[in-house]
Amino acid sequence: MDDNVYQVETDDLSGRFLLFYIGETTYSLPLTHVIEIINIQHITKIPNVPYYVKGIVNLRGKVVPVSDVRLKFNQPERPYDDKTCIVVVLISDMNVGLIVDSVAEVVSIERTNMAPPPTAGHRGGESYLDSVSQLNGKVILNIDCDKFFQSDLAELFPDSD
Amino acid sequence: MTTIDPGMEALLETFVYESNTMLEQLDEIMLESERAQNISHENIDSIFRIMHTVKGSAAMMGFNGISGLAHSVEDIFFIIRETPEKLGIVFNALFDLVFQTSDFLKREIEKIQNGDFEESDPGALVALLHQQAAIMKGEEAPAESPIPATAGAAAAAEKTVEGAEDFHKVRVYFEDDCQMENMRAFMLLNQISHCCDAIESVPANPEADSSLCADIIRDGFLILFKPTETFDDVIKIIESSLNVKSYEVIRDEAAPPAKESAGPAAAGPGEAKTGTAPSGGSGGQTPSPGGKSGSIQSLISVNQVKLDQLMDLVGELVTAESIVASNPDLKGLKLDNFHKSTREMRKLTDELQDVVMSIRMVPLTATFQKMNRIVRDMCKKLDKKVELVTYGGETEVDKTINDSIADPFMHMIRNAIDHAIESPEERRALGKPEIGTVTLNARNAGGEILIDVADDGRGLDPEVLLNKARNNGLLIKPESEYTEKEIYQLIMMPGFSTNTEVTEYSGRGVGMDVVRKNVEKVGGSISIHSARNEGTTFTIKIPLTLAIVDGMNISVGSTVFTLPITSIKQSFKISDAKQVLYNTDGAEMILLRGDCYPIIRLHDLFGIDTEKQDMMEGIMIQVESANTIAVLFADELLGEYQVVVKPFPTFFNKYSLKEQGLSGCSILGDGSISLILDVGNLMSAQ
């Protein structure tokens, strides 16, 4: 597909992370969850869902829901541009698209280079961080996919935990 | 056995399918016969044939338990076939046994299907079946046949026996691991009892104590008997008996030498004197599937996955066809021949689709018939009298739908019999007919199928339901605001159970909740009507087919909706703002040919931004579902398309899009997605 910016290889993915930007902040997603990255495309809105769930897109005949990470992180909305990407991730056997400002690169982060996020000082909101890393002088916030989707999946699989 | 020969795997599927079909047929015949209190000659033959085929194919696959059990049933029906008058002796016991057998076999086959080849031991059933066979052969009640209980220690028995001069002694060894040796010994005694004047055994009364198994395994089972006719008759029976590994004749007197006459015993393949397994013989025997009557049309069974693939492909083809026919590149061109060709192609794809659809359609009859069995079993267990009446079994539904509604039916019927229908005494006191009725009624209604599951029991009590819901913390708004309909819907909430006592059949509080989920999975819905002491009716509404819908695409803002053609009555524009009336609460209405209908603004309902807020600019579409009519307001009509229905991603399950009137989505020719409207839910969501 032409609009694929990047197609992920399926070799050893553990310890490797996809970096993406929301504003000036760098976040990372474990590559084991990432299926592919596509350009932003027409999103069909679904009524009466949380504000950060933007709707559904057609991914080669498959209907995939998309969430806006910016909104999920309680940051102001901004218009999509040609750098805006949808990162399709696999969570609980479902494909879900994540709208991010732009994607950067794939990096390897050692487990030793991951500091746990603070447990105190939350402002009552949810935290989706797995850990914080520093790489080449850059701070990277590593996202925990399970935590990220916890509220979306909570009622889907009530028996699971 | 825990694994299966890889070469057999291909056969396995056929075996499972064939056996299931046969067992269902068996259930059907047995139910019919039980009702008639007689088994017709034809049916006896059918049962015999079914069991024979199951036995043969199971043996071929190496499922000895199944084949052994089938063999025992076959034995019984062999006797019945030869001497039908003996049926009366064992009629009731026999039916229960055959049903148990059928259940056992179904369970086993299900296990096999799930890749679990650990066989259960049918020994108990086989023993019981043999008992019945013995009763029929001997016309003697089994309890009376063994010698009066001497409650004997083995030693004592031995002593008495030693004194008996003209007793023959035979020591029988059972197969290793055949289990329940004491029962098998008892069966053997029964079998030979009718051709012996007197029998003794060591140990005596083997059936009384299962701890004797160990003794029997170690020392064998010693039988002492005085034959009525000849010694050979008895030996023949011992030879043909199931699970007998070997036997030795103990001669302490001049007994006639045992002739090697392993003549065909009463039933089936001759088990060798030291035959390894009962099925060893039948394995070599060709099952006779050709016994099925020749009038059956030639049918082939196809893997459902392939059918699903075919359906998907046809769906894609239909989409591709409309992409070609309405390709934007063709805009403005004069293409008479092209359009003629595309029309031709459309006709063919339509036809193709119809055929594929019809392949997937199955009548509900089989599902309905399965319910007979549940009613029968429950009535026996609960001591209630219930009759199942079915209408419209010939109604056809998509196979997927058919499969996923069988369980809900079962639950609902169980609930009805367990909770709703009163005991015969109670019913008499209420002036109702003693026999309760559960009705299954299926009918076509437009693009949908309605199936009623109705009972004439005590009905739902809103008070009780509310109390219960309150206790379980299921109420989400003040009690006084609940309408009767909403109260009934409460019973389908997770964690709701109306019966305080948990019974074997229902009342775990998962029933109706699961029912609703299963029905919703195939795009259906359930509504409940109930009247005190008159009964409850559950109406299940399911789509005729899941796959392809003829729809009118309409736009609202940037969103495209697909409205199923079957629910559209007409569309029109209004030229005069005065045509729109306002209800006292400000709700918009419209008067059409003397009737007043509500107007539903789709952009308001779904919170979509659109420029066309004025009724004069947009389009009005009059829609109908289940006798309710409303008028939808949308931006414009985009044209008629066939769309392939795709369910929403599971991600959206918790947002109950169905209740809001969205039944699914569909990918349009240009790659964009439309939302498919469900008019019925749309109107009730208002």
Indicate the residue of A45, A63, A95 with minimum beta-carbon distance to B559. Answer: A45
Q: Do A56 and B657 touch (CB under 8 A)?
A: no
Q: How many domains does chain B have?
A: 5
Q: Check whether residue B226 and residue B123 sit in a common domain.
A: no
Q: Check whether residue B488 and residue B597 sit in a common domain.
A: no
Q: Do B667 and A58 touch (CB under 8 A)?
A: yes
- Within 8 A by CB and 6+ apart from B473, the residues are none
Which is it for the CA torsion B432, B434, B435, B436, positive or negative? positive
- Within 8 A by CB and 6+ apart from B25, the residues are B46, B50
Range of the domain at B332: 304-362
pLDDT digits (tens, 9 = 90+) for B412-455: 888 888 888 888 888 888 888 888 889 999 888 766 788 999 98
Q: Check whether residue B315 and residue B400 sit in a common domain.
A: no
User: What does the DSSP assignment read for B444-513?
Assistant: EETTEEEEEEEE-SS---HHHHHHHHHHTT---S-GGG--HHHHHHGGGSTT--S-SS--SSS-SS-HHH
Banded pLDDT at A97 (limits 50, 70, 90): very high
A113: domain CATH number is 2.40.50.180
- CA atoms within 13 A of residue B630's CA, in its CB half-sphere: 22
Sheet of A138-143, strand order? A102-108, A16-22, A25-30, A138-143, A129-135
User: What does the DSSP assignment read for B47-83?
Assistant: HHHHHHHHHHHHHHHT-HHHHHHHHHHHHHHHHHHH-
- Within 8 A by CB and 6+ apart from A123, the residues are none
Tell me if residue B117 falls in helix, strand or coil.
coil
A53 phi and psi, to 5 degrees?
Answer: -85, 110
Q: Do A47 and B608 touch (CB under 8 A)?
A: yes
Q: Check whether residue B370 and residue B399 sit in a common domain.
A: yes
Q: Do A56 and B671 touch (CB under 8 A)?
A: no
What percent of chain A has pLDDT above 70? Answer: 82
Q: Does A5 touch chain B (CB under 8 A)?
A: no
Cross-strand pairs, A20: A27, A103
- Within 8 A by CB and 6+ apart from B45, the residues are B81
Q: Is residue A137 part of a domain?
A: yes
Q: What distance in Å separates the CA atoms of residue B551 and residue B563, rounded to the nearest whole number? A: 5
Q: Is residue A91 part of a domain?
A: yes
Q: Is residue A18 part of a domain?
A: yes
Q: Is residue A161 part of a domain?
A: no
Q: Check whether residue B214 and residue B312 sit in a common domain.
A: no
Instruction: Mark which residues 130-149 of A lie under 8 Å from B by CB.
Output: none
Q: Is residue B237 part of a domain?
A: yes
Q: Is residue A122 part of a domain?
A: yes
Determine the residue among A59, A63, A88, A152 to mutate to test chain B binding: the one whose Cβ has the most chain B Cβ atoms within 10 Å: A63
Q: Do B654 and A156 touch (CB under 8 A)?
A: yes
Q: Check whether residue B59 and residue B97 sit in a common domain.
A: yes
Distances (CA, A) of B345 to B314, B348, B625, B638, B644: 13, 5, 32, 22, 18
From B333, B362, B391, give the residue that closes a domain.
B362
Contact list, B559 vs chain A (CB under 8 Å): 44-45
**Residue A87 confidence (pLDDT) above 90:** yes
For the CA atoms of B306, B307, B309, B313, the dihedral, rounded to the nearest 10 degrees, stands at 140
- CA atoms within 13 A of residue B539's CA, in its CB half-sphere: 13
Please report, as a single letter, which amino acid is at residue B410. Answer: M
CA angle B473, B475, B477 (to 5 degrees): 140
Assess contact for A36 and A64: CB atoms under 8 A: no
pLDDT digits (tens, 9 = 90+) for B296-319: 456 777 887 888 788 778 877 877
The residue in chain B having the minimum alpha-carbon distance to the alpha carbon of residue A60 is: B671
Quick one: tokens of B326?
């309405």
B198 phi and psi, to 5 degrees?
Answer: -150, 145
Contact list, A94 vs chain B (CB under 8 Å): 649-651
Q: Does B338 touch chain A (CB under 8 A)?
A: no
B204: domain CATH number is 3.30.70.1110
Q: Check whether residue B403 and residue B536 sit in a common domain.
A: yes
Q: Check whether residue B218 and residue B355 sit in a common domain.
A: no
Q: Rounded to a whole number, what is the distance in Å from the CA of B513 to chain A's nearest CA?
A: 14
Cross-strand pairs, A26: A21, A140
pLDDT computed for residue B206 by the predictor? 66
What's the average pLDDT block by block, 10 residues per block, for chain B (686 residues)?
55 77 84 80 81 80 81 81 75 81 84 76 81 71 40 41 59 69 70 70 67 70 73 73 72 46 38 36 36 51 81 78 79 86 88 82 83 84 86 83 82 83 86 88 79 88 82 77 80 66 48 76 80 87 71 89 87 82 83 86 85 82 83 88 79 80 81 85 76
Q: Check whether residue B423 and residue B537 sit in a common domain.
A: yes
Distance of CA B116 to the CA centre of its chain: 20
For the CA atoms of B645, B651, B654, B660, the dihedral, rounded to the nearest 10 degrees, stands at -30
Q: How many CB pairs under 8 A join A and B?
A: 66
Would you tell me how many other CB atoms lie within 10 Å of the CB of residue B362?
16
Quick one: tokens of B27?
């259930």
Q: Is residue B282 part of a domain?
A: no
Q: What distance in Å separates the CA atoms of residue B36 and residue B585, rounded to the nearest whole number? A: 63
Q: Is residue B260 part of a domain?
A: no
Assess contact for B603 and B609: CB atoms under 8 A: yes
pLDDT computed for residue B3 by the predictor? 53
Indicate the residue of A42, A94, A158 with minimum beta-carbon distance to B651. Answer: A94
Q: Do B674 and A44 touch (CB under 8 A)?
A: yes
Q: Check whether residue B531 and residue B659 sit in a common domain.
A: no
Q: Is residue B383 part of a domain?
A: yes
H or E element at residue B570: strand B568-572
Q: Do A61 and B652 touch (CB under 8 A)?
A: no
Assess contact for B132 and B79: CB atoms under 8 A: no
The residue in chain B having the minimum alpha-carbon distance to the alpha carbon of residue A54 is: B652
Contact list, B661 vs chain A (CB under 8 Å): none
Q: Rounded to a whole number, what is the distance in Å from the CA of A85 to chain B's nearest CA?
A: 18
B634: domain CATH number is 2.40.50.180
Tell which residue, B170, B183, B166, has the closest CA to residue B238.
Answer: B170
pLDDT digits (tens, 9 = 90+) for B600-653: 888 888 888 888 777 778 899 998 876 788 899 999 888 887 777 777 888 887
Quick one: tokens of B242?
């199931």
pLDDT computed for residue B313 by the predictor? 81
Q: Is residue A108 part of a domain?
A: yes
Would you tell me how many other CB atoms lie within 10 Å of the CB of residue B56?
23
Determine the residue among A53, A58, A67 to mutate to test chain B binding: the one whose Cβ has the most chain B Cβ atoms within 10 Å: A58
Q: How many domains does chain A have?
A: 1
Q: Check whether residue B122 and residue B163 sit in a common domain.
A: no
pLDDT computed for residue B183 by the predictor? 66
Q: Do B673 and A56 touch (CB under 8 A)?
A: yes
Q: Does A90 touch chain B (CB under 8 A)?
A: no
pLDDT computed for residue B152 by the predictor? 40
Q: What distance in Å separates the CA atoms of residue B511 and residue B407, rounded to the nearest whole number? A: 10
- Within 8 A by CB and 6+ apart from A51, the residues are A71
Q: Do B559 and A95 touch (CB under 8 A)?
A: no
Distances (CA, A) of B521 to A153, B359, B404, B515, B619: 18, 21, 8, 10, 33
**Bridge-based pairing state of the strands A25-30 and A138-143:** parallel
B311: domain CATH number is 1.10.287
Q: Check whether residue B612 and residue B519 sit in a common domain.
A: no
Range of the domain at A23: 4-153
Q: Is residue B32 part of a domain?
A: yes
Determine the residue among B673, B674, B677, B681 to mutate to test chain A binding: the one whose Cβ has the most chain A Cβ atoms within 10 Å: B673
Indicate the residue of A46, A61, A158 with minimum beta-carbon distance to B652. Answer: A46
Q: Is residue A159 part of a domain?
A: no
Q: Do A156 and B605 touch (CB under 8 A)?
A: no
Q: Does A61 touch chain B (CB under 8 A)?
A: yes
Instruction: Mark which residues 594-653 of B lie under 8 Å from A by CB.
Output: 605-608, 646, 648-653
B126: domain CATH number is 1.20.120.160
Question: What is the distance in angstroms between the CA of the first residue and the CA of the last residue of chain A?
Answer: 38
Indicate the residue of B494, B606, B665 with minimum beta-carbon distance to A63. Answer: B665
Q: Is residue B639 part of a domain?
A: yes
Contact list, A44 vs chain B (CB under 8 Å): 559-560, 665, 672-675
Contact list, B677 vs chain A (CB under 8 Å): none
Q: Do B606 and A48 touch (CB under 8 A)?
A: yes
Q: Is residue A160 part of a domain?
A: no
Q: Do B655 and A46 touch (CB under 8 A)?
A: yes
0.85 surpassed by complex ipTM: no
Q: Is residue B414 part of a domain?
A: yes
Would you tell me how many other CB atoms lie within 10 Å of the CB of residue B289?
13
Quick one: tokens of B208?
């009384």
Q: Is residue B520 part of a domain?
A: yes
Q: Do A48 and B650 touch (CB under 8 A)?
A: no
